[in-house]
Structure 1
Amino acid sequence: MNMLEDKKQKFEGINSFGFTLIEIVIVLVITSITVALAVPNLSKVKNYYQLDISAREMASDIRDLQQTAIKTQTATYSMMWDLGTDTYYLCNPGTTAYKTVNLPAGVDLANAPITGYYYQMNFSANGRPKGGIGGSITLSDKGSGKKKYVIIDTLGRVRVSDTPAN
């Protein structure tokens, strides 16, 4: 009997240190629920960053266009926006686009400055908006409606903001 009692103690000792199948299943269910709740929030964060990156890239392209106008001392560099296709163009003299940017699918080009009949802004040889008129470009997230504004003031300063220009 002594040997039987020793085996019983060894068997009970092994069970007391492990997890039961029910405990493991409960942990997996709780983890799955937590992950399922977190995934939709990640897509919202991704869309917001896509909007933010698009606005910053547009601001960078505008600065590049201004620098090109200053470098070449030519006053006919312009930026044109197509609100229907969510596309913008950087144009050299003669309105030939040398760079075309299509915004990501989740980003909407909601508003842009109007010069005459076109959504465009021309830059003078000193990098300022031609005619001394600045403007604001509105980008919005198609899902949430959140907006970013690329603002160009009358002196040519370009910035990205969460609030529209005054």
Structure 2
Amino acid sequence: MPELSAGVPETTGGVRLAEISDRPLDPAAVDAAVRGHRYGAVVVFSGVVRDHDSGQAVSALEYSAHPDAIRFLRECCASVAESTGLPVAAVHRIGELSVGDLAIVTAVAAPHRAEAFAACSTLVDRIKHEVPIWKRQLFADGLSEWVNACG
């Protein structure tokens, strides 16, 4: 699946980056998308594929996205940007991921850290619950499980 993106850089607030990509994620690019001279805090969250879940050894993940997933991602980003007045960015990976790969990277910039942390947490929660991206966990024992979640 090709990379999908949206968002136009602005001097204040707004969606700076919203993408769903089948390529490895670059936290530095997500960070750079929200930075500005007016902001003293940039919070970047990276969701990493871990080697376990609920006591089972995980060997890999597969993420699949609904064809309209980018629209839902844009809406989540726009809602958080609008409610906070802060610049936001988010990129979610799809396809096959190995343990240690980045599944999602989000960033929010703010004048102070508390509001950046709060907005970034809200953004991740909204994406996880509202964007139709599903993950299939592949376990070391050969079994797999679909999870209706994004992060």
TM above 0.5: no
Bigger proportion of residues as helix: 1
Larger gyration radius, structure 1 or structure 2? 1
